[in-house]
């Protein structure tokens, strides 16, 4: 990971996360949704990728708005499954492995919690993301027809089962 450091998302990160969400998805989440996930949903685990070069002091100060968020991700851990709900990287930072680092952070955390599988939905047209997910053991297990409300695109349902610690997660 050359360009970022992955840390838990805080409420102070939400404005920057919203901007990345808006630039990444046709139907971005609302501020209220992120705030709910961070403060009300005991199953939610969200992360941000911070621009490298920030000192630990700057990172700590980030709780009051000084951190520079360049990507984010989240999953819900329920029973023994991690359901990945979102992954996005700011367009200026794409292609540098930041999405992969976010995915690795989620999978490593889920394994520590006892997850035995991980699931997600991904747009049928998003072959870049699908390639990344397959690298970490995800396989196509279904198709959700007309899943995305913006254009009716299908979603591939992908699962990594059994979820195992590998050298790739280190």
Q: Which residues are catalytic?
A: 121, 133
Residue located via tokens 């047209």: 125
Would you list the DSSP string of the chain?
A: --SEEEEE--GGGHHHHHHHHHHH-SSPPPHHHHHHHHHT-TTEEEEEEEETT--HHHHHHGGGT---EEEEEEEEEETTEEEEEEEEE-GGGTTSSHHHHHHHHHHHHHHHHT-SEEEEEEETT-HHHHHHHHHTT-EEEEEETT--TTT---EEEEEE-S----GGG-
C-alpha distances in angstroms, 90 versus 4, 51, 150, 163, 169?
Answer: 12, 11, 21, 28, 23
| Rounded-to-integer distance, Cα 72 and Cα 50, Å | 9
């Amino acid at each position: 990971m050359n360009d970022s450091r992955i840390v838990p998302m805080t409420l102070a990160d939400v404005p920057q996360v919203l901007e990345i969400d808006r630039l990444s998805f046709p139907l971005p989440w609302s501020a209220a949704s992120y705030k709910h996930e961070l403060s009300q949903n005991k199953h939610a685990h969200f992360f941000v990728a911070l621009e490298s070069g920030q000192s630990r002091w700057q990172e700590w100060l980030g709780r009051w708005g000084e951190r520079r968020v360049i990507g984010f991700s989240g999953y819900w851990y329920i029973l023994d499954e991690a359901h990945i709900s979102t992954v996005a990287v700011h367009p200026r930072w794409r292609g540098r492995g930041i999405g992969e680092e976010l995915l690795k952070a989620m999978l490593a955390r889920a394994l520590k919690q006892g997850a035995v599988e991980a699931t997600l939905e991904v747009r049928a047209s998003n072959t870049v993301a699908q390639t990344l997910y397959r690298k970490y053991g995800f396989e196509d297990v279904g198709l959700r027809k007309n899943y995305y409300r913006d254009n009716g695109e299908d979603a591939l349902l992908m699962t990594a089962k059994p979820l195992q610690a590998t050298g790739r997660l280190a």
